[in-house]
A and B are shown apart, each in its own frame.
Chain A
Amino acid sequence: MPVLLQVENLRTQFYTSAGTVRAVDGISYTVNEGETVGIVGESGCGKSVGALSILRLIPDPPGKIASGSIRFQGRDILAMSDEELRNLRGAQISMVFQEPMTSLNPVLTIGLQLCETMELHLKLTPEQARSRATELLGMVGISEPERRLQQYPHHLSGGMRQRVMIALALSCNPKLIIADEPTTALDVTIQAQILELMKDLTKRLGVALIIITHNLGVVARYADRVYVMYAGKIIEGGSASDIYHRPLHPYTLGLLRSVPRMDRPRGNRLIPIDGQPPDLTREIEGCAYRPRCSFAVARCEHEVPPLDSVGGGHTSACFEKARLQGLLKEAS
């Protein structure tokens, strides 16, 4: 499938009084057309900043995209003028945010917010926009769409608002939707509904999707490919089943062992990852995960392990991946 989005060596930094925070420190990945890509990592690992950088939504100051390139359908987003960028946002690439309770404007009706985007980007007349808005609300599973259009966000529940956000994201037929923790603020039953809905709609409409989450279960089920981030870097990437069943980085392994799994016998102990993620204001020497890693060797202290391929599109940034591979074989 043709490449839709190509992020190369992206660095996003925040210049604060406490020093420069290297929130995203040289990440590279690609998203193909119609593909669902998951980006996983714990809080503060740079996954959201990386996503916001794609649309250049990083508040500047204090943030800045320091280097790298982001190519969308071959065009460099970082070189775009403000006007080109406005025509890209919402129309070609749209976003679904984490907080459905606050990502809709409380003083405007649902209909107004849906129609405004389509009138702006698709140049629809108010009547056309209205009928398409009704259709979209039906598509995301909201009952009585006609009446909902006249309601304000506070009339809707969190799950329904997130459906509205998805409708809004889909409204201008984008090529790519970036969902930044789309289900974190929802309760578990609604989470599954929203994820099913997003997967179903993106597959049906051929829209590529980037799901950013800290929930490995989410990506295992809904993503085609997964990238794991730690301390602003991608430390492992591969197909969802590679990451889930054959992790080749101690951090991914640690994450997997610290969450309960339905596919393993009950009674298995959950093993937490000790320690704290590193302070990103300081220059990190060697592997960022080394202080918390049980596989660390002397080399890890001074050399940054490169993100190497282990075959089949699976990459890992660990010097000890051969040892991990051996252990996995033994276990199975």
Chain B
Amino acid sequence: MKAEAIAVSVPADIEAELAAARLPFFKAFGKWVRNQPLGAVSAVGVIFMILVAVLAPLIAPHDPVEAHYEAMAAAPSIEYWLGTDQFGRDLLSRVIWGARTALFIGFTSAILGATIGLVLGVTSAYFGGWFDLLFQRVMDVFLAFPLIIMALAVVAIFGTGPENVIIAITIPFVPRCARVVRSNALAIREIPYIDAARALGYGHLRIILRHMAPNCMAPYLIMLTTFLGQAILLEASLSYLGLGVQEPVAAWGLMLQGGAEEYAESAPWIAIFPGLAITLAVFAFNLFGDSVRDTLDPKLRAR
């Protein structure tokens, strides 16, 4: 028998089946909104915040660092919608610019932390044996410290400033992501296509990055979205403690510090609005993370 004679014929309707399986974008999106109403609301919140952060210079009514000495600790008014702080700086502008700081640091450290964690977790699972054992014990040491303590220690070593805050937040994220990704990668390592990749003569690096890491995207994205909310909260905490971003940069945690405490009774808006911004941001990112997890994790989806 000739190879040509036994060619596989493809059913004609396979194309139609494939098209049916590939829902149009809007239909799929509509389905997601119906299944995850909270997720949709939080997604709107997240997108709104990203827009605010990106467009900060255009939409902020005042310069966030400019002091208006004629209106110090002024109540919300038509000129200053959310009032001013003790130096007469417009709170609305500072909250808007603060979104930029929060999201920049939040996204950078979450993406860095999750990505480094992904690569390390897959590597650990791929090599296995004593390497995996040793690596996991090192991760255990990192995990033994609460997130904020770990970040504090890192800032204490490297000093303050936005870059160091990013490093401080990234480092405790790495082992958390690495551990989750590793457990997923351990299962993937046993699937024959990894053996097949080795049998084709691929090197370790190629197998880890090109063949295993893309198969770990679900846990990676779940960890990434979870980290976003945590990173924003951590940045605010560090800034509040004076270990994060320094004055006069607008940052939500920083705005809660100093004047906000002194003027808590006479000018409560100084504390209320940045506090509200932090709350809403963390809430939105966490809800969004939850709905991403529900969508991506097949075990949870069944419920």
Residues of chain A at the chain B interface (Cβ within 8 Å): 55, 57, 61, 85-91, 94-95, 97-99, 102-108, 116-117, 120-121, 139-144, 155, 157, 159-160, 163, 165, 168, 193, 196-197, 200-201
B151-159, B196-204, B232-240: which one contacts chain A?
B196-204
- What separation, in Å, do the CA atoms of A139 and B197 have in the docked complex? 22
Contact A90 B200 (CB under 8 A): yes
Contact B9 A143 (CB under 8 A): yes
- What separation, in Å, do the CA atoms of A98 and B214 have in the docked complex? 24
Contact B192 A97 (CB under 8 A): yes
Contact A88 B201 (CB under 8 A): yes
Contact B10 A144 (CB under 8 A): yes
Contact B200 A89 (CB under 8 A): yes
**Chain A residues whose CB sits within 8 angstroms of the CB of B3 once the complex forms:** 139-141, 196-197, 200-201
In the complex, per-residue mask of B1-18: 1 if CB is within 8 Å of any chain A CB, else 0: 111101111100000001
B11 to chain A, nearest CB (A): 10
Provide a sorted-by-A list of 21 A–B residue pairs whose CB atoms are within 8 angstroms: A57-B199, A86-B202, A91-B201, A102-B191, A103-B192, A104-B193, A105-B211, A105-B215, A107-B217, A108-B211, A108-B214, A120-B201, A141-B4, A141-B8, A142-B8, A143-B8, A157-B8, A159-B8, A168-B196, A200-B1, A200-B3
A308 to chain B, nearest CB (A): 35
A68 to chain B, nearest CB (A): 20
Residues of chain B at the chain A interface (Cβ within 8 Å): 1-4, 6-10, 18, 129, 191-193, 195-203, 206, 210-211, 214-215, 217
- What separation, in Å, do the CA atoms of A143 and B215 have in the docked complex? 28
Contact A121 B192 (CB under 8 A): no
Residue of B whose beta carbon sits closest to that of A61 = B129
- What separation, in Å, do the CA atoms of A139 and B215 have in the docked complex? 30
Residue of B whose beta carbon sits closest to that of A194 = B6
Contact B192 A102 (CB under 8 A): yes
Identify which of B9, B197, B198, B203 contacts A105 (C-beta below 8 A): B197
A189 to chain B, nearest CB (A): 10
Residue of B whose beta carbon sits closest to that of A100 = B192
- What separation, in Å, do the CA atoms of A144 and B15 have in the docked complex? 12
Residue of B whose beta carbon sits closest to that of A88 = B201
Contact A163 B201 (CB under 8 A): no
Identify which of A89, A143, A157, A197 contacts B198 (C-beta below 8 A): A89
- What separation, in Å, do the CA atoms of A186 and B125 have in the docked complex? 31
Contact B200 A94 (CB under 8 A): yes
**Chain B residues whose CB sits within 8 angstroms of the CB of A139 once the complex forms:** 3
B219 to chain A, nearest CB (A): 14
Contact B214 A107 (CB under 8 A): yes
- What separation, in Å, do the CA atoms of A97 and B203 have in the docked complex? 19
A159 to chain B, nearest CB (A): 7
Contact B7 A142 (CB under 8 A): yes
Contact B8 A57 (CB under 8 A): no
B123 to chain A, nearest CB (A): 17
- What separation, in Å, do the CA atoms of A291 and B268 have in the docked complex? 90
**Chain B residues whose CB sits within 8 angstroms of the CB of A57 once the complex forms:** 195, 198-199
A152 to chain B, nearest CB (A): 11
A157 to chain B, nearest CB (A): 8
**Chain A residues whose CB sits within 8 angstroms of the CB of B18 once the complex forms:** 155
